Structure 1
């Protein structure tokens, strides 16, 4: 079992150029301290920049050894990487290293050569090259001014199209189905905190559902709620979640920005920026000015997750010979990451003082690799009328929120605060006209893929299934998972809100036309009360439900007619 104090040790000793070169050049230090606080030996071919396994935790510079860089070019390249390792995020440092390699591997190009190769570079490599020469200029090497003028003026644009079916916003059918599936997965979780050690350490086959799976579900749910990058979610510690009405006592968060008592039992969340211009900024040193209020349901979910988390810490301490009550553990976890690496549960903890020294406000040890949260978000399932391979990312979730917010009339400042993007980026969404946004959602009804998405649930009801009852107590359909159905938060209610839900199994011979009449009457009554020009979202959802009910009716009629033809 590995000791907790061994986790940050850098054991790499392979040099990519001789130490005498460093000693003879006073501008290149022998050691530097990375932004994470780790000590890095500059002569090593691999620089460890992070405690955890996030992007850029190991910066591989072995390629410099095989490059054709001249001594001065090598010196300048090292100075750039030293600057980035000390001042920038590890992921940014790695991105610049990867992007600049094909540009300078054969030696620094002339401005003319750079101009010739420019069109063949990807957007990411162009950005890395611009950052590289811009940093040299910032460090005082004026001979690269012409380089930076060219690169900064010719970056091009990779602005995401918010209406793209592959990278842009999720339309309402896609978004609704993704959230419904996620909520159903969470509803299946057993939140009994009396788990054994195997549940956390994943030893043996005691659990098909382990702590890592629960952690992924909660992480995904939080990404959906806060609309931030996975790295920002991975940075959160338990000290960042407090009840509304409480205070973070943070000098960088104005007291008036904190969430006062709003009459409900909810939590507020402190989030941290990952892109800032603060010199020598440490990990988790720049919080966003406005904490975020979490819903009652999400607050309860985090509370139940926290109880299981405390059990895991208690068992890990006990496994190291430290027996503490849950109340005592509660006070210890304040600076522990909410989404903790599974490696923690296998660590040997020598004493409590060592434990408390490792988990501080700015520590990054055992914070989950953000790539795992990214993968969990990408694993979200849903249906789409535009593609057979729906891809969900945190970027697409933000695009969706930004577009919806623009539809609701939010200004750029409000959109920026909602999603954490800059105001200039938010303005891009305000410029899209409302009718253009609606085109996506209005074209789905004749789509074969969406029709196929409804064919599987249509069936005769099994005796053991849960039952969806109509307003006149008639059976409309069954459910795949009764507990998920009981926790459903669909605002339109049953049975109208059930159509299209992946948990709903419409009956083949139910009177779906009667439900359609009810939905159309409800839509007609609501249309008389709202100005359609503003695009009221409640009306949009009701319109979609009417279309979904019509699809189910068409499918039922088609199946029944085929049966009658076979029996004729």
Structure 2
């Protein structure tokens, strides 16, 4: 490492800049406008990049003036960081800054020192270092070409293991159980209750159902449906959700790509790209080319959520002494975030114009930080025998969808449109073949862990239980959550579709073998009448239910045998 002769800069309140001629012709401005639209003073030790608390909302740069770097090195680092905060997302800029810090904070290394230290750096630090020196070269500093050549040619190849229990795709059972549990949680919500202001104001209070809990549930349900990044969900405004058949009137979304009438009441959703080459320094500046149609059920959920949201906005306005008609409240909501920060309901302004001025098409104020969505996603519960702590992330959801899509025969363009990843990225999703995946799922199902995870069979039902009947009207089991069960839309129907559901209580002495025979007969009929090219995916759900019925039978037999042994003693 080179010797530092710039100890005089230590403790300065702002960054001093190298006053010699800049060979690349770049200058450090006093102020910049970052990607989100915020104005930042470059000399400050902290740069606020977002108005919400998402990843990268604040970058700390006090270490730049710690006395370890020369004035020239500070200038070069600032040029790179300025480039990123202006042209890239706050999350990307933050990743580069924290990643390159260990490499340059004691002074820029020589090429030899970088080579020696390279193997000790983690993958993220290597990527950040490569981006840092690559940006310097693009800015005209040719003396760093050797650095960039070395870093770019020595990046580790990150191989995704599709069966990794923590980062790989979710198994069919894991995914289904997660979605089932989430749907049951949402189904238990009574949207008809009239909420007061406390419902919106107590967002952080534990032990109470509140708007914050509802907001987080809906955001995660939407994320699972659209298979995008949490930040893309956090970026949404109400103007991005319009009825199918309507127009966004957006110059970047052509009329032929908008969704016309599809014969049902549903919403279409406009999504914005996080990663874009557009240098426009605005939040939400680049929409995806194709809007996305939401299912009728999800559209209804968002509609009910919007009604409650509008009630909360109206109550917040009343707290400020502003009484508006319903139509005027909806108008104010147009550019408000769909998933709003809890701080908004504490806001007090004097007039309607002040509220409207807070929210524009490109404003980021009061948008929920994506970390809240990430944490709620991670808290989802499901059944897994691979780990006792099943982790659900947006990356795993997209990987699962891409894998399934590839198995269905979708091409890279279709996979890209489905998940929002680039076509080159979609081409990499060549996963296990169908038979290999079925073998793995069968191994997941047929073990003691999952037997214990299933609802324990019971001798009798409570008098208030709803009864699940077989084809001959015999009792097969009961229901734990009647409301959730009444809204269940399993395509396999009762009782076949009930097995494995968290709400199903199988009867110990019921004739589950007859249900198994019926399911096997249904499977055989489907296989006979379907072309061989489409059998795998179309009957897969039924195959999994057959496995679950077998587990239930095995568990019932085991409990009955245990009871018989006790009685014989």
1:292-343 Cα offsets, whole Å, 9 max, x none, are 0000001111110000000010000110111112221011100000000010
Match of 2:23 in 1: none
Q: Does 1:337 align with 2:332?
A: no
1:469 counterpart residue number? 469
Question: In structure 2, do the counterparts of structure 1 residues 156 and 535 end up closer, same or farther at CA, with 3 Å as the change threshold?
Answer: farther
1:21 maps to 16
Q: CA deviation at 1:459?
A: 5.0
Q: Is the 8 A contact 2:508 2:556 kept in 1?
A: yes
Alpha-carbon shift at residue 141 of structure 1 (Å): 0.7
Are 1:488 and 2:488 an aligned pair?
yes
Partner of 2:554: 554
Counterpart for residue 380 of structure 1: 380
- Shift, 1:204, TM fit: 10
Measured after TM superposition, the shift of residue 457 of structure 1 is 5.0
More displaced 10-residue stretch of structure 1: 446-455 or 325-334: 446-455
SS at match of 1:21: coil
Deviates more, 1:288-297 or 1:63-72: 63-72
Distance 2:206 2:144 in 1: 61
Structure 2: gaps of 5 or more residues: 1-9, 21-25
Which deviates further from its counterpart, 454-463 or 83-92?
454-463
CA contact (8 A) 2:337 2:367 kept: yes
- Mapped to 2, the partners of 1:20 and 1:269 lie a distance apart of 44
**2:406 aligned partner:** 406
Distance 1:193 1:332 in 2: 24
Structure 2 equivalent of residue 421 of structure 1: 421
**Hey, what does 2:164 align to over in structure 1?**
164
Contact kept, 8 Å, 1:96 with 1:131, in 2: the verdict is: yes
8 Å Cα contact 1:412-1:424 kept in structure 2: yes
CA distance, structure 2, for counterparts of residue 535 and residue 164 of structure 1:
27
Q: How much has 1:20 moved relative to structure 2?
A: 7.8
Deviates further, 206-215 or 343-352 = 206-215
User: 1:531 deviation in Å?
Assistant: 3.9
- Residue 146, structure 1, aligned to residue 146, structure 2: yes
SS of 1:443's equivalent? helix
Shift of 1:40: 1.4
C-alpha root-mean-square deviation of aligned residues, in Å?
Answer: 1.9
Q: Which runs of structure 2 are paired with 1:22-37 in the superposition (5 Å)? A: 22=17, 27-37=27-37
Contact 1:252 1:287 in 2 (8 A): yes
| TM-superposed deviation, 1:155 | 1.3
What TM-score, normalized by structure 2, do the two folds share? 0.94
Does the 8 Å CA contact 1:126/1:151 hold for their aligned counterparts?
yes
Contact preservation (8 Å) 2:15, 2:43: no
Within 5 Å, give how 1:128-277 maps onto structure 2: 128-192=128-192, 194-202=194-202, 208-277=208-277
Number of residues of Structure 1 aligned to a counterpart in Structure 2: 554
* Aligned match of 1:295: 295
Distance change >3 Å, CA 24–CA 357, structure 1 → 2: farther
Q: Secondary structure at the match of 1:59?
A: strand
Range with greater deviation from structure 2 (34-43 or 259-268): 34-43
Alpha-carbon distance between aligned partners in 1 of 2:132 and 2:188, rounded to the nearest angstrom? 49
Deviation at 1:66, TM superposition (A): 2.7
- Seen in structure 2, the aligned counterparts of structure 1 residues 445 and 355 have a Cα distance that, compared at 3 Å, is closer
Contact 1:470 1:494 in 2 (8 A): yes
Distance 1:22 1:348, change over 3 A: farther
Displacement of 1:67 in angstroms is 5.4
Q: Report the counterpart of residue 529 of structure 1 in structure 2.
A: 529
Partners of 2:453 and 2:350 lie apart in 1 by: 55
Would you identify which runs of 4 or more consecutive aligned residues in structure 1 move more than 6 Å? 203-207
1:264 shift after superposition: 0.7
The Cα shift of 1:99 comes to 0.3
Q: Secondary structure at the match of 1:44?
A: coil
Give the match for residue 283 of structure 1.
283
Deviation at 1:387, TM superposition (A): 2.4
Determine if contact 2:17/2:71 at 8 Å carries over to the other structure: no
Distance in structure 2 (CA, Å) of the matches to 1:528 and 1:385: 33
